[in-house]
Amino acid sequence: QFVESDDDEELLFNIPFTGNVKLKGVIVMGEDDSTHPAEMRLFKNIPHMSFDDAAREPDQTFSLNRDPTGELEYPTKIARFSNVYHLSIHFPKNFGAETTKIFYIGLKGEWTEAHRHEVTICNYEASANPADHKLEQITPQTHFIS
């Protein structure tokens, strides 16, 4: 089983994560022919990325070698990919074929649970309103020690 591009050699994968990922490496397996991707561009945290968005500067670019067995791992710049919740992988070209085929994409890294906080509406008092803080009258008592 494989994924093959439609009209040209470009392929784009959008991968959302359920938490935050520190991405350390990527493995790409293709056919041992000209349909294997020749370049890989990584974009982080751009949900719903399209081919139009792929014109922007990627977070990291790799020149790929033919790897039908998945033995090559391409290490990422860990500082740049330390807090990824969505990864887009763009394959702009292959080794000369009309279409690109990919059999496997492996991602290596560490997953942590996402800490996404929703917007909280808070009201703050600039100064206390005494009417809001009524206390019963305290009667002073004196105790004598004899």
Task: Write the pLDDT tens digit of every residue in 49-62.
Answer: 999 999 999 999 99
- The closest alpha carbon to 83, from 23, 139, 25, 30, belongs to 23
80-119 per-position pLDDT tens digit: 999 999 999 999 999 999 999 999 999 999 999 877 666 6
Query: Phi, psi (5° rounding) for residue 30?
Result: -140, -175
- 3-113 in CATH: which number? 2.60.120.470
pTM of the prediction?
0.77
